[in-house]
Amino acid sequence: MRIEILTRNMDKKAELLTMWAAEPSFTSAGGKITVDGVQVEAGPDYLLLTINDWRRGEQVLPRLFSISPCAYAPSYCEPVTDQKILVTAAARPLPEIIENLDVLEHLDLEKGELAGAFQRRWQSRDVAVVAPVEVMVQGGVAVARIKFLTHFRDGEHHCRLLLEKISLREMLTVFTPEITRRCRPRAVPPCVTARRSVTGQDFSRFLNDGPGGVIYRPEQDEYLVQFGGRNYLSFHPGRERNVELELHIEDCTCLTERLTEQLTDILHLEQVSMEGRIADLLLEPRQLLGELNFRKDEDYHIFVREGAFLARYDIQKLEMQLRAVVDLRAPAVGEMLTGLYRDMLLFTELVLAGGA
């Protein structure tokens, strides 16, 4: 499978770099960015992503949307994107594709040719995104062209809920069998994360007084404060002379009392999240509601389990997210995070033991 995504929104480059920076396979040199399953060509006014793993495409797709205030109704927002997608993949048998098309433009069963179109729609209250998809099949290979249209506007909350619903997988299922081939579940270990905007003065003070080595990466226009291993704090230029920080900690023991004090006193970071993820996880509703003590959420495809941390399973995306929010000013916060990390790992083992 080959997925090509073109966007001229250069503001998304920093967001993609931040998302992939912690991955071992990540490299960036000149205008080329690579990470396992993805290659990005960064031109002067465009980003061209070439993806050979549909799961990476599912991860990238919503991040190439922006939520912008409406020009004539500033209290409302709308999702915006200019991305265009071209997918080349092995084709399903023609009869299976035909039954899911809205328009059939050409069909030659003897030559194995087909041309048609369908669309997918996602909505959250008044705001919606529609994806028209044009499909052509020849010689057992399907080529699909995808673009996105947005409709109406709503509050920022509903725009964000809408972006969570958009699924590349839902479109690919129509014309290719490649994404329905079962993969083994993949667990991403929990890590501590936080993001916020800080003033340039606080940023400078932390670099001068904070622990760890400081590295400047000109390609990303980023300062990286490393605490050993894959534990770091990154700083990117933000709006109005502010600086955007991102904290990424995989080993909670590096959150010493001194570092925690500097995060709260200098950078005014009050809360952090501990997040884990299990991808390609197939669980039946019976398992979720019975053995694992989940409950049905308002969205028909979401199951949740509350406790020391929130577990959220999307039966449509076959993905489980684990998340907890911790107050950095709490007593013995390092021990609290270490215990939470252990609890998440034990729960992950329990889930994988019952997953397909």
pLDDT at 212: 66
- 147/196 same-domain check: no
Question: Comparing C-alpha atoms, which of 331, 283, 342 is closest to residue 308?
Answer: 342
Q: Angle 333-354/257-265 helices, nearest 10 degrees?
A: 100
- 174/217 same-domain check: no
- 111/67 same-domain check: yes
pLDDT at 172: 95
Last residue of a domain, one of 124, 155, 180: 180
Last residue of a domain, one of 180, 204, 226: 180
Q: Which domain holds residue 332?
A: 183-356
- 174/287 same-domain check: no
List all residues 6 or more positions away from 345 whose beta carbon is below 8 Å from its beta carbon.
189, 190
pLDDT at 210: 65
Residue 166, helix vs strand vs coil? coil
Read off the pLDDT of residues 222-248 as tens digits, 9 standing for 90 and up. 888 888 778 888 888 877 778 889 899
Read off the pLDDT of residues 308-348 as tens digits, 9 standing for 90 and up. 999 999 887 788 999 999 999 888 888 899 999 999 999 99
Q: What's the N-to-C CA distance of the chain in angstroms?
A: 24
Q: Are 188 and 278 in contact (CB under 8 A)?
A: yes
Q: In the chain, which stretches have pLDDT less than 50?
A: 356
Last residue of a domain, one of 165, 180, 195: 180
Sign of the C-alpha dihedral computed for residues 17, 21, 25 and 28 taken in this order: positive
Q: Are 236 and 13 in contact (CB under 8 A)?
A: no
- 139/188 same-domain check: no
pLDDT at 146: 97
Query: Could you give the residue ranges of the DSSP H alpha helices within the chain?
Result: 12-20, 54-60, 94-98, 156-165, 168-172, 200-209, 257-265, 285-289, 333-354
- 151/259 same-domain check: no
- 172/188 same-domain check: no
- 107/217 same-domain check: no
- 173/27 same-domain check: yes
- 103/192 same-domain check: no
Question: Number of folded domains in the chain?
Answer: 2
**pTM for the predicted model, two decimal places:** 0.58
pLDDT at 93: 92
Q: Are 119 and 128 in contact (CB under 8 A)?
A: no
Residue 272, helix vs strand vs coil? strand
Provide the Cα torsion 321, 327, 332, 338; round to 10°: 10
- 171/189 same-domain check: no
pLDDT at 356: 44
- 9/122 same-domain check: yes
